């Protein structure tokens, strides 16, 4: 395996770092409140970063999301790329791709995902024809991140089939405030018309990646969920790296008894542990993304990345806040944003214990299938 970014991926990452760094200052984040920054979103789309993800692949997206996480930039970048661009490009019908992708690339179409953290759908079902390209959705999804920014939502029904519907067709969208400022909402559907992603299945030109060695044709739901987990693990890597960088800067500048806090062994050990955790989150996200782009099995790798992002992510953002001492308790301090994002990403990824259980069950299932195949 080789995680070295291509020239195009490195250039896109550097451009993203510049845009996020320029437009996601603490002052602008404070002004944006709990919503997204529309000027930042326009800048990202005008620079072509959303559309570029088609060519950069999931590893390229992970690199871009790291830069977003470093600054806790408030934009629906992750959701639109995962549930919109990559999902439609890989699994949409030719008509869906022709109709939706241009708007997604230029930012006029913003997509969010009504995906639960743990893979079960919460009361969302199809009330229309199961085999047709169109159907009706009825049910409620309590929390959908970036729903208030979105024009379309990708919904997983109770049969784990994926449907696209315009947000304006929903029965209601109520604002929900999360720990992190993700413009979330409560989605209520009542006989809402929707179109199946890919219509009657995967279009002939789609690339269906192997999620597991014994599952050559995984469901679209499973594929999109694994992609989302990998991408959001990359976002967590950036959040944690940003938190640690702020902490390191603080303990180098802050003096106690005439010496910088950074000279204290306890501080050094705590920061070193956090650094190792950040690297573990990063490398597992890179591996899952690289395998997906290479067409290799990556179901267990996506879950591994999600587990590290959840478990280690919490440790790192707690460390970042702790090393700031009293300043870390200030809710208006920039490091507190990283703490809030880290906590929210932990919940969104499914929480460490739940993800670990799912990973264990998947490994057992794969081993059983391998034994049956060997017989």
Q: Does residue 255 have a pLDDT over 50?
A: yes
- Mean pLDDT, range 293-314, rounded to an integer: 95
- Residue 131, pLDDT > 50, answer no
pLDDT reported for residue 353:
85
Q: CA–CA distance from 286 to each of 296, 314, 340 (Å)?
A: 13, 19, 24
| Residue 122, pLDDT above cutoff 70 | no
Give the CB-side neighbour count of residue 231, counting CA atoms within 13 A: 27
Q: Is 247 left (phi over 0), alpha (psi -120 to 50) or beta?
A: alpha
* Encoded tokens for 347: 């919940």
The structure tokens listed for 68 are 């977003």
In SS3 terms, the chain reads as: CCCCCCHHHHHHHHHHHHHHHHHCCHHHHHHHCCCCCHHHHHHHHHCCHHHHHHHHHHHHHHHHHHHHHHHCCCCCHHHHHHHHHHHHHHHCCHHHHHHHHHHHHHCCCCEEEECCCCCCCCCEEECCCCCCCEEEEEEEEEEECCCCCCCEEEEECCCCCEEEEEHHHCCEEEEECCCCCCCEEEEEEEEEEEEECCCCCCCCCCCCCCCECCECCCCHHHHHHHHHHHHHHHHHHHHHHHHHHHHHHHHHHCEECCEEHHHCHHHHHHHHHHHHHHHHHHHHHHHHHHHHHCCCCCHHHHHHHHHHHHHHHHHHHHHHHHCCHHHHHCCCCHHHHHHHHHHHHHHHHCCHHHHHHHHHHHHHHHHHHHHHHHC
Cα(46)–Cα(40) distance, rounded to whole angstroms? 10
pTM of the predicted model as reported, rounded to 2 decimal places: 0.89
Highest mean pLDDT among 4-8, 59-63, 209-213 belongs to 59-63
Q: What is the pLDDT of residue 373?
A: 64
pLDDT band at 121 (very low <50, low <70, confident <90, very high): very low
Confidence (pLDDT) at 118: 46
Predicted local confidence at residue 134, as pLDDT: 67
- Out of 64-68, 78-82, 163-167, 198-202, least confident range: 198-202
With beta carbons less than 8 A apart as the criterion, state whether 285 and 305 touch: yes
The residues near 374 (Cβ < 8 Å, ≥ 6 apart) are none
- Quick one: pLDDT band at residue 349, thresholds 50, 70, 90? confident
Q: Worst-scoring range by mean pLDDT, 102-116, 148-162, 186-200? A: 186-200
pLDDT class for 199, splitting at 50, 70, 90? low
CA pair distance 298, 225, nearest whole angstrom: 12
pLDDT digits (tens, 9 = 90+) for 201-253: 433 333 333 343 334 345 889 899 999 999 999 999 999 999 999 999 999 98
Q: Is the pLDDT of residue 128 over 70?
A: no
Over 70: is that where the pLDDT of 132 sits? Answer: no
197 vs 87: CA distance, rounded Å: 8
């Amino acid at each position: 395996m080789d995680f070295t970014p291509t020239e195009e991926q490195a250039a896109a990452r550097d451009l993203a770092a510049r845009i996020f760094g320029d437009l996601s200052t603490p002052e602008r984040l404070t002004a944006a409140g709990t919503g997204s920054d529309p000027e930042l979103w326009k800048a990202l789309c005008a620079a072509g970063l959303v559309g570029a993800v088609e060519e950069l692949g999931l590893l390229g997206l992970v690199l871009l999301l790291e830069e977003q996480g470093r600054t806790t930039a408030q934009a629906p970048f992750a959701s639109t790329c995962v549930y919109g661009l990559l999902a439609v490009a890989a699994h949409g019908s030719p008509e869906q791709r022709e109709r939706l992708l241009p708007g997604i690339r230029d930012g006029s179409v913003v997509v969010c995902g009504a995906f639960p953290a743990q893979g079960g759908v919460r009361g969302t079902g199809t009330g229309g024809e199961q085999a047709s390209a169109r159907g009706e959705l009825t049910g409620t999804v309590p929390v959908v991140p970036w729903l208030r920014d979105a024009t379309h939502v990708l919904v997983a029904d109770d049969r784990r089939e994926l449907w696209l519907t315009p947000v304006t067709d929903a029965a209601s969208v109520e604002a929900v405030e999360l720990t992190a400022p993700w413009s979330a909402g409560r989605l209520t559907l009542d006989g809402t018309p929707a179109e199946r992603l890919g219509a009657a299945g995967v279009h002939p030109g789609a690339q269906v990646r192997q999620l597991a060695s014994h599952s050559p044709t995984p469901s679209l739901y499973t594929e999109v969920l694994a992609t989302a987990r990998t991408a959001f693990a990359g976002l967590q890597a950036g959040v944690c790296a940003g938190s640690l960088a702020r902490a390191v800067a603080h303990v180098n500048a802050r003096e106690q008894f005439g010496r910088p806090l950074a000279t204290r062994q306890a501080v050094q050990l705590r920061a070193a542990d956090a650094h190792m955790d950040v690297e573990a989150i990063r490398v597992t996200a890179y591996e899952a993304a690289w395998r997906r782009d290479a067409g290799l099995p990556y179901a267990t790798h996506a879950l591994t990345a999600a587990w590290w992002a959840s478990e280690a992510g919490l440790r790192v953002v707690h460390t970042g806040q702790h090393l700031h001492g009293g300043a870390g308790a200030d809710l208006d301090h920039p490091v507190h944003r990283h703490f809030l994002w880290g906590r929210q990403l932990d919940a969104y990824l499914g929480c460490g214990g739940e993800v670990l259980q799912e990973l264990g069950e998947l490994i057992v299932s794969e081993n059983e299938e391998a034994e049956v195949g060997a017989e």
